[in-house]
Amino acid sequence: MPELLRLRTPDFEFSVWTNDIRARSNVYRETMEKRANLLRSPSPELRFLPAQRVTSDFVYDATTDLPISDITEENNGIEKTKNTEAKIESLELNSPLFFENTQYQFEWVFFDKVTEAKLAHRSQTINESFRFASRRGQMQARLTGTINTANDVGWMRLPVQFVTQGKEYIQNISFEVLPTKMALHQDLPLMYKAIDDVFPLWRFSLVEKTEQDAAQSTERGHFPLMWLANFSQLRERFEKGLKVICAAPHSRLQPTVANIKSEKLKGRLPYKLGEKIKQDFANGLHDKRYRVEKKQLSVDTPENRFIKMAVTQCKRQLSGFEAKIRESNQAPERQRLSNSFLDEMHSWQQPLQKVLNQSFLKDVSDYTGLNRESLVLQQKTGYSAVYRVWQELKFYLNVFGNQSSISMKSVAEIYEVWCFLQIKNILEDNLGFGSPLHRKPNLKKGIMDELKLVNGDKGAFEFFREEDGVRASLYHEKSYGRKTNEIRTFLLTHKPDIVLEIIFPDGRKFVWLFDAKYRIESIKTSEQGLFLGKPRLKDTEKWNKADLQEKSHFAFKIQDGVPDDAINQMHRYRDALIQLDSVDKKSRPVFGAFALYPGFFNQQEERNPYRDAIDEIGIGAFALLPNDGTNTHGSEWLVDFLKVQIGEASRQDSDYSLKSVAESLYVREPARIPYHGMRQVLYSDLALTVNLGGQQGRKNSYFEAFTNGTANWYHLPKKTFDSKFKQHIAYELSYLGIASNSTVDSRTKSINKLWPVQNVQIKPRNEIGADIAGKDSDSNELYYLFQLGRPLYLQTCIERVPHLPVINALRLTTLKNLQEAQIFEDIEQVYKEALNSK
């Protein structure tokens, strides 16, 4: 593949290479096509500071796989050169070239005899990845380095310092690193807003590879990172205004009072003062002093006091920042900031100190405020510039606009915390939980007041639903190790991104884990949205090349999914966490583990490709993106899932209860998967009431065996059982309450014995002989065949058991309930969630 970019300026030639961006370019293009309803993203461009004269450029065209220099008029190319004498601040690119998680190589080839060159980025790590080679023979001096953009999106600024003929120059080249999985200019601002509402200023970082506009926040306050970022953008205006002030400081005629002897009085005297002096001389008073008021120009004005205060404050702030950063940067493991940035910050202070050394400021007293609006500060040249800059520094977060930028935490961190807060919002807005009991976010201050989220229990939100008493706890990166209480691990420590614990009023606790993965991998799904696995290369090519009208005949489609290792991590989390009760009894508390990823779907109309895996084994993934104002609803799948798992207090259904919600979690397939050869049940004494078959054609010995307590088998049509209960219930039964003829009412039956169930089989009726069923049959209909143990006798018979049809006698209950009941209608039913809804 040809180089991505090459441009020539009077000072150097700048080139960019990478292995191949076609795959990422295609993903980005598909993402933008899916989000066609959004506002159009700004065109990609290069920015130059100071403005530079670009004499020629060469840009790779990702849409045609051709460089611009190879495109002719026949294939609608773009002019390959730009020759202009004018300096430009930006150069528009014909297609995006810079993407996340991509490694780029940069090179500057200098034309003059450059003796020294280096990259002066704030990050020491980035600077160390560049190497300067001085001129050797015919080979020009050059600066070469490699940068992996990783998950850092936004504007990347590469400031190059080079020395030629003893003079130092600096040139900034900036470009925007784009994410391929989301719309940078639409999704990220929504995430920032959600984060700023709960964790103000957390997203800002002291130094990262890239920078972003900080205009989205509305927070005020003293935050050094923001002040420093704004000052770096405004300082040139600030310094120019101060130069004007020093050259012509504002002065004002101000009255002065002096007591002067008569012989030192000069000029024309006021009439009253002259008469006073005459009278004193007549009385022989020649040494007396007289009070004289004069007006003279003075620089000790409210405006100059303000200027002195502003310069002093800025100098003090910068000096404090530099000292704090240098102290932190001394530790080798914490050397994040480059010496170039520290030297630059020190150089910012020199013009301010020069102003403070001006002689006219020595006569200026301390600033005590302005009694009224000053036209000098608002309109006079120099003063107005400094005054406006100060107002922006004072309320820096409200007036950032597009001119100030600051490093943000990586988009992977942003997405993780946003997912955490999105689940918090779902609990509050969709599931009826009140405001969290712990409102204050636990943020820890680092160097320059850079904020870090305290994880685990200290970073948790606790909720309470007043309607039904359900409690919820939401944790960010809660740590589970070998020494943690209740839930622990036995080998390694695990820290899932998001932990949701739900505690029902009866004390039963359920845990779901979520891991935010800012990664997307194409998956192959059926037309109905069922997961089919990873696509082969030819599958992807076939899909990409097909026209929209032709796609309908394919049996599959390519959609957004999560990488395989993300799903594997969910299996690991669920398997590793063990809950211990007071007697060290072990159980698995995690009812589901799910990856969250920024896949784009119309969740109201499309099906989650991981739906089957979620229902069957409790492992899968949910696409999660901000709701962008359209009908796509980027969190609909997750909201629906949590509603089913936790319940909605607002529901008024007659069959709805917290007990049924809790039981439904145990009934679901993921919670019931036992180890091979073992059985897993919710009720250890689960019992089913049933009827004996009709007497017609059956041997009397069949009925006598149930009367005498010697029966070993009971058979029941599978379709009859399955029409009322889910199939797994047949294997969870511990007892059968088999009703026989009643001595009280011939129209009903009674239960006087409970039969332990030892085994359950499914057999066709023609394989169940007369010795078991009382008569033979040629039918191949499937039956449940229960192997019975010795019966337990009830102290009180249960009367009024329905006779016909057989299904009316089927009731799911427990051994305890059967021992307490006297008539069939009084038997308390359990496990309502096991009823078949078909």
Residue closest to 749 by CA, chosen among 714, 799, 704, 792: 799
pLDDT band, residue 547 (cuts 50/70/90): very low
Residues 829, 812: contact at Cβ < 8 Å?
A: yes
- What is the pLDDT at residue 113? 84
Show the tokens assigned to 208. 């990262």
- Distance, in Å, from the CA atom of 178 to the CA atom of 187, rounded to the nearest integer, reads 12
- Distance, in Å, from the CA atom of 489 to the CA atom of 512, rounded to the nearest integer, reads 16
Tokens 């060290």, located at residue: 584
Task: Summarize the confidence of residues 209-231 as an average pLDDT.
Answer: 48
- Distance, in Å, from the CA atom of 113 to the CA atom of 164, rounded to the nearest integer, reads 6
pLDDT band, residue 146 (cuts 50/70/90): very high
Domain boundaries, the chain: 5-180, 224-249+301-406, 252-298, 425-520+566-671, 521-561, 677-834
- Per cent of the chain over pLDDT 90 is 5
- What is the pLDDT at residue 649? 57
Does residue 326 have a pLDDT over 90?
Answer: no
Q: Are strands 811-814 and 405-406 parallel, antiparallel or unpaired?
A: unpaired
Q: What is residue 631's DSSP assignment?
A: S
Residues 501, 475: contact at Cβ < 8 Å?
A: yes
Residues 20, 27: contact at Cβ < 8 Å?
A: no
- 750 forms beta bridges with 740
- Compute and round to an integer the Cα radius of gyration of the chain: 40
- What is the pLDDT at residue 332? 45
List pLDDT tens digits, range 397-438.
333 323 334 455 777 888 888 898 899 888 888 888 877 765
- 90 forms beta bridges with 47
Half-sphere exposure of 271 (CA within 13 A, CB side): 0
pLDDT band, residue 548 (cuts 50/70/90): very low
Largest pairwise CA distance in the chain = 159
pLDDT band, residue 37 (cuts 50/70/90): low
- CATH top-level class of 677-834: mainly beta
Got the DSSP string for 23-64?
A: HHHHHHHHHHHHTTTSPPPPPPEEEEEEEE---EEEEEETTT
Residues 161, 155: contact at Cβ < 8 Å?
A: no
Show the tokens assigned to 390. 């100060």
Residues 749, 691: contact at Cβ < 8 Å?
A: yes
Contacts 24+ apart (CB under 8 A), 691-699: 691/738, 691/739, 691/749, 691/801, 691/802, 691/803, 691/806, 691/809, 692/738, 692/739, 692/740, 692/749, 693/773, 693/774, 693/806, 697/774, 697/775, 698/773, 698/774, 698/775, 699/770, 699/774, 699/775
- 157 forms beta bridges with 174
List pLDDT tens digits, range 615-647.
888 899 999 888 765 545 688 899 988 888 887
- What is the pLDDT at residue 480? 84
Element (H, E) at 162: strand 154-164
Does residue 515 have a pLDDT over 70?
Answer: yes
349 CA to centre of own chain: 38
pLDDT band, residue 731 (cuts 50/70/90): confident
Show the tokens assigned to 702. 């069949």
- What is the pLDDT at residue 106? 92
- What is the pLDDT at residue 350? 84
Task: Summarize the confidence of residues 708-718 as an average pLDDT.
Answer: 89
pLDDT band, residue 214 (cuts 50/70/90): very low
Task: For the chain, give the mean pLDDT.
Answer: 76
755 CA to centre of own chain: 56
- Distance, in Å, from the CA atom of 371 to the CA atom of 506, rounded to the nearest integer, reads 66
Residues 578, 586: contact at Cβ < 8 Å?
A: yes
Got the DSSP string for 219-252?
A: --S--HHHHHHHHHHHHHHHHHHHHHHHHS---E
Half-sphere exposure of 754 (CA within 13 A, CB side): 22
